[in-house]
Copies of this chain bind each other. A is one copy, B any other.
Amino acid sequence: MQYRKKETKNRIIASALTEFGDKGYLDASMRDIAQNAGVSVGNIYRYFKNKSELFDEIIEPAYCRLMLEMREPHYSRPNYSISQIDDHVDGVMKVLKQYKKQLLILADKSKGTKYERTKEEVVLYVESTLKDRLLPVLNGKGVKVHDQFMFYLLSSTFMEGYFTILRRYDNPAKMRYLIRELIILLFGAIDERFT
Please report A residues at the B interface, Cβ cutoff 8 Å.
23-24, 26-27, 111-112, 147, 149-150, 152-154, 156-157, 160-161, 164-165, 168, 177-178, 181-182, 184-186, 188-190, 192-193
Query: Which residues does chain B contribute within 8 Å of A192, judged by CB atoms?
Result: 188-189, 192
Asked if A153 and B165 make an inter-chain contact with CB atoms under 8 angstroms apart, the answer reads yes
Copies per complex of this chain = 4
Asked if A168 and B149 make an inter-chain contact with CB atoms under 8 angstroms apart, the answer reads yes
Asked if B161 and A157 make an inter-chain contact with CB atoms under 8 angstroms apart, the answer reads yes
Query: Which residues does chain B contribute within 8 Å of A152, judged by CB atoms?
Result: 164, 168
* A43 → chain B closest CB, angstroms: 14
Query: Which residues does chain B contribute within 8 Å of A177, judged by CB atoms?
Result: 147
CA distance A15 to B185 in the complex (A): 41
CA distance A193 to B189 in the complex (A): 9
* A18 → chain B closest CB, angstroms: 15
* A161 to chain B: closest residue by CB: B157
Query: Which residues does chain B contribute within 8 Å of A157, judged by CB atoms?
Result: 157, 160-161, 164, 182, 186
Ordered nearest first, which 4 A-B pairs have the shortest CB separation? A189-B189, A160-B160, A156-B164, A157-B161
